[in-house]
Amino acid sequence: MKLVKKPVTGMKDILPEEMAIRNEVIGKVREVYGRFGFTEIETPIVEHIENLSSNQGGENEKLIFRILKRGEKLKLDNVKDSSDLTDSGLRYDLTLPLSRFFAANMNELPMPFKALQLGNVFRADRPQRGRFRQFMQCDIDILGDGSILAETELILATTALLNEVGFSGFTVRISDRRILHAMADYSGFRAETHDNLFIFLDKMDKIGIEGVKEELLKAGYAEEGVDKCLSLFSLCTEGSISNLELLSGKLGDSLDGAVLSSLKGIMENVDKVRGDGFELKFDPTLVRGMGYYTGTIFEIEAMEFGSSIAGGGRYDGMVGKFLGQEVPSCGLSIGFERIITILLEKGYDARTQEEKTAFLLEKRLSGERLSDIMKEAMDLRKGGKTVLVTYMAKNKKFQKEKLKQEGYSDIKEFFD
Amino acid sequence: MKLVKKPVTGMKDILPEEMAIRNEVIGKVREVYGRFGFTEIETPIVEHIENLSSNQGGENEKLIFRILKRGEKLKLDNVKDSSDLTDSGLRYDLTLPLSRFFAANMNELPMPFKALQLGNVFRADRPQRGRFRQFMQCDIDILGDGSILAETELILATTALLNEVGFSGFTVRISDRRILHAMADYSGFRAETHDNLFIFLDKMDKIGIEGVKEELLKAGYAEEGVDKCLSLFSLCTEGSISNLELLSGKLGDSLDGAVLSSLKGIMENVDKVRGDGFELKFDPTLVRGMGYYTGTIFEIEAMEFGSSIAGGGRYDGMVGKFLGQEVPSCGLSIGFERIITILLEKGYDARTQEEKTAFLLEKRLSGERLSDIMKEAMDLRKGGKTVLVTYMAKNKKFQKEKLKQEGYSDIKEFFD
């Protein structure tokens, strides 16, 4: 019986052309984030099932790849539920494992801890074009810093990285989860309805304010409250700090003054420090799906791409689930796979960025003559050059064309 | 309930100090192997269970982490065997997935294909000091080249890499699986007993020739055959090409002449081309555990480490299991985790190799003054410098000591 050639459903093999781009981007990630003092760490791909199923992962918890127990732990009699069969699974993000990592290792880590993570995560999503069940995430997080320095650094570092990777003209949208709650309170909506309300508000950029109103009414929200809530958004069309102040004034006691000063502080700070190349906007319609966010939230959009390529926020509660004691935490994740897709679609080829040499050897070549040629190749390699030594193919013209595609612009032929 | 802080059994968190070394070694792997024309690829961590259980993995097949089926495919009634519950698992090596990859993508790959892989593999081994259930493997393979160029390049590239990583004085031991078979034939042992015989021969360097003899007799091998077989080893004490020729002469018709000329060719070629820094020895006691090897086998030992840090060989049959058509294949795997362990034990710290700057800010600093300082940091970062901006801790002396350990030799303080 022949074995199965294709990768498992929803996962993909990465070929040399794409791999070269991935490695180039990963190199830039390490370089740029490194300059900002982020240090890389790694957690295992396998995580305790209790941690993965602790309501920190939202919808992703439905998409876990579970690992079968082994040996005596696996009991096949009387299996009632799949949870009897498994005690671990593949991580679906890097934030939960980072929180575990920090709780386990905090005494050996700098404080605050600026973490960089590059790693594969796994989600058993319905397979679809361009979305895979194994994909790379790239996160930076600052743990143990509750000040606006954290948000400022995350934004500055990530925009610097995106510039370095070749993107420009992006918009950083920023808000605070607590503003959303204040807006909901102000409109008379009870706390337990907020999360559901936010799901509707999140659609603002897709279906517009009228569309959102229609859906909210259909869902049973009181018209008076809905009007009151939606009217607040019209105060913030410019996304400026003065818009934010106007909104805050309107919200009055519903909003803690500290929220305004924190968000203002971040916006002013980023605005003064940053280089050029991006716009910074306050956007109260920003929701960010994950339930674990407790404060600032942000998203970065690239003009040429049309949708978000980075996002994150403050999640001060998660480390506490492991440690029993809260640790202020704030993170930003770039859409690594999207960035790779865009670069591939642009026709960028990382393999042709350096001049490389190929030695084409006549098939009969052997003995002393072969050794001499290989020695020549070795000497060039010692000098840092890339030299491929290979035999001539029957169709030499085709072989040379392919070699040029792979970046071997310098081809030397050797005969007996 | 608090969540679980420790990693899952047998797996480990990688902290900044070790991560920096890993990344430095990975950088050198990519650079050095890249110079030899190896191109990196990646396969999914999850693999079809049929492929993982196809007798290509030897003992590793007993150590597979299996993934639970999902949705309708998972039937919990009448489970007879754990194999009813799973259709995929985590890869235990990189060779099997590479063979699948090549079979699936060969039309888009250069021919011969020189692959580099760096990736995590998973084995549910009994947990023990220094051995983990998730670990990194680093393999180079040449597929589609049956000539001695393949072996030569694998050896030259890997010794060059090991030099670059800081190792020297190693011994490359080389043999051919077919010589072992010829020795066994010559001694009158039937083909079906060979694999078992090799397991005993493999112990030669641990228990000596007398120990091996004793164990073979105890296992029921005929004394005459055992003596005949073991006497052959005494012909090869120097490990030279002339030793190899002597052995081959003795084996006569039991050994195909092509085996001698191939192995001699590789040894002569490597010997002429290589730089300095290693010894090359023919070693007929070399076995290499995996059943899939069909020809040349080799192992690299570092003096200062005392045991093997790289090994591999020719496995011409594996791609054929996927493709239905044999493809000559040859690979070499370095002991990535061992190399990291040695570097850590040597006290090497990759974080202190570059001069880095830390800005220590008084806690009260904010507003315009904070922005100015951050702008100064940004300008240095744009010039390629690493600058950490952080607030002063209460115990500033301790904070500065820790920063120096992390490589921040240049520390500037800023007050309000």
> Within an 8 Å CB–CB cutoff, is residue B36 touching chain A?
yes
3-state secondary structure of B74: coil
Residue A270 is given by DSSP the state H
Q: Which residues pair with B412 in a beta bridge?
A: B359
- pLDDT at residue A370, rounded to an integer: 94
Residue in B4, B44, B388 closest to A7 by CB:
B44
Report the alpha-carbon distance of residue B207 to residue B201 in Å, rounded: 10
Torsion, Cα of A362, A363, A365, A366 (10° steps): 160
Max mean pLDDT range (A302-311, B73-82, B114-123, B295-304): B114-123
Cβ-based contacts of B76 with chain A (< 8 Å): 79-82
Report the alpha-carbon distance of residue B370 to residue B367 in Å, rounded: 5
Q: What is the mean pLDDT of chain B?
A: 93
End-to-end, the C-alpha distance of chain B in Å comes to 44
- pLDDT at residue A343, rounded to an integer: 92
B106 CB contacts (<8 Å, ≥6 apart)? B113, B323, B327
Query: What's the distance, CA A252 to chain centroid?
Result: 36
CB B120 within 8 A of CB B103: no
> Within an 8 Å CB–CB cutoff, is residue B147 touching chain A?
yes
Report the alpha-carbon distance of residue B176 to residue B299 in Å, rounded: 12
Least confident of B67-76, B308-317, B387-396: B67-76
- pLDDT at residue B41, rounded to an integer: 98
Q: What is the pLDDT of residues A53-84, one digit of tens each?
A: 988 888 888 999 999 999 888 888 878 888 88
Structure tokens, A132: 């895979």
Mutate to test the interface with B, among A6, A42, A61 (most CBs of B within 10 A): A42
Report the alpha-carbon distance of residue B199 to residue B191 in Å, rounded: 14
Domain residue ranges of chain A, discontinuous segments joined by +:
1-167+304-353, 172-279, 355-414
Measured CA angle at B314 (ends B309, B320), to 5 deg: 130
Report the alpha-carbon distance of residue A403 to residue A413 in Å, rounded: 13
- pLDDT at residue A274, rounded to an integer: 80
| Nearest chain A Cα distance for residue B357, angstroms | 9
> Within an 8 Å CB–CB cutoff, is residue A278 touching chain B?
no
Q: Count CB neighbours of A168 within 10 A.
A: 13
- pLDDT at residue B206, rounded to an integer: 87
Residue B152 is given by DSSP the state H
Residue type, B322: F
Residue A275: is its pLDDT beyond 70?
Answer: no
Mean per-residue pLDDT for B104-121? 97
Cβ-based contacts of B30 with chain A (< 8 Å): 23
Report the alpha-carbon distance of residue A66 to residue A82 in Å, rounded: 9
CB contact (8 A) between residue A82 and residue B65:
no
Report the alpha-carbon distance of residue A195 to residue A193 in Å, rounded: 6
Query: What's the distance, CA B5 to chain centroid?
Result: 30
Residue B76: is its pLDDT beyond 90?
Answer: no
- Residue A311's nearest CA partner among A328, A294, A327, A290 is A290
Cβ-Cβ contacts under 8 Å between A and B: the total is 286
> Within an 8 Å CB–CB cutoff, is residue B402 touching chain A?
yes
Q: What is the pLDDT of residues A93-104, one digit of tens each?
A: 999 999 999 999
Q: B91: exposed, middle or buried (C-beta count within 10 Å: 0-12, 13-18, 19+)? A: buried
Mutate to test the interface with B, among A8, A141, A155, A410 (most CBs of B within 10 A): A8
| Nearest chain A Cα distance for residue B387, angstroms | 6
Measured CA angle at B352 (ends B349, B356), to 5 deg: 155
List the CATH code of the domain at B16-167+304-345: 3.30.930.10
| Nearest chain B Cα distance for residue A244, angstroms | 18
Q: Which residues pair with B89 in a beta bridge?
A: B47, B66
ipTM rounded to 2 decimals? 0.94
- Residue A374's nearest CA partner among B154, B241, B248 is B154
- pLDDT at residue B182, rounded to an integer: 95
Report the alpha-carbon distance of residue B349 to residue A39 in Å, rounded: 13
End-to-end, the C-alpha distance of chain A in Å comes to 44
CB A311 within 8 A of CB A225: no
Q: Which residue of B has its CA nearest to A76?
A: B79
Mean per-residue pLDDT for A361-380? 93
Report the alpha-carbon distance of residue B179 to residue B205 in Å, rounded: 18
CB contact (8 A) between residue B68 and residue A74:
no
Residue in B3, B378, B389 closest to A50 by CB:
B3
Residue B277 is given by DSSP the state S
Cβ-based contacts of B111 with chain A (< 8 Å): 393
Report the alpha-carbon distance of residue A104 to residue B6 in Å, rounded: 6
List the CATH code of the domain at A1-167+304-353: 3.30.930.10
Q: What is the mean pLDDT of chain A?
A: 93
Residue A14 is given by DSSP the state B
Residue type, B29: V
**What 3 state SS string does B121-182 have?**
EECCCCCECCECCEEEEEEEEEECCCCHHHHHHHHHHHHHHHHHHCCCCEEEEEEEHHHHHH
Structure tokens, A40: 């890389």
Q: Where are the alpha helices (DSSP H) in B284-414?
A: 318-323, 336-345, 367-382, 396-405
Report the alpha-carbon distance of residue B292 to residue B316 in Å, rounded: 8
Structure tokens, B234: 């005494």
- pLDDT at residue B229, rounded to an integer: 94
Residue in A16, A103, A384 closest to B40 by CB:
A16
- pLDDT at residue B176, rounded to an integer: 96
pTM: 0.95
- The strand pair at B170-176 and B134-143 is best described as unpaired
> Within an 8 Å CB–CB cutoff, is residue B277 touching chain A?
no
Q: What is the pLDDT of residues A131-177, one digit of tens each?
A: 899 999 999 999 999 999 999 999 999 999 999 998 888 899 999 99
- Residue A269's nearest CA partner among A112, A114, A149 is A149
Q: Where are the alpha helices (DSSP H) in B90-131?
A: 95-105
- Residue A18's nearest CA partner among B26, B109, B145, B107 is B109
Compute the Cα dihedral for B264, B270, B271, B277 and give only its sign: negative
3-state secondary structure of B312: strand
- pLDDT at residue A1, rounded to an integer: 59
CB B139 within 8 A of CB B94: yes
Report the alpha-carbon distance of residue B85 to residue B64 in Å, rounded: 14
> Within an 8 Å CB–CB cutoff, is residue A352 touching chain B?
no
Cβ-based contacts of A402 with chain B (< 8 Å): 110
CB contact (8 A) between residue A134 and residue B390:
no
- Residue A321's nearest CA partner among A102, A8, A44 is A102
Place of tokens 């006569």: B252
> Within an 8 Å CB–CB cutoff, is residue B163 touching chain A?
no
> Within an 8 Å CB–CB cutoff, is residue A235 touching chain B?
no
Q: Count CB neighbours of A31 within 10 A.
A: 13
Mean per-residue pLDDT for B225-250? 92
Helix or strand (DSSP H, E) at B109:
none
Helix or strand (DSSP H, E) at B30:
helix B16-35
| Nearest chain A Cα distance for residue B184, angstroms | 31
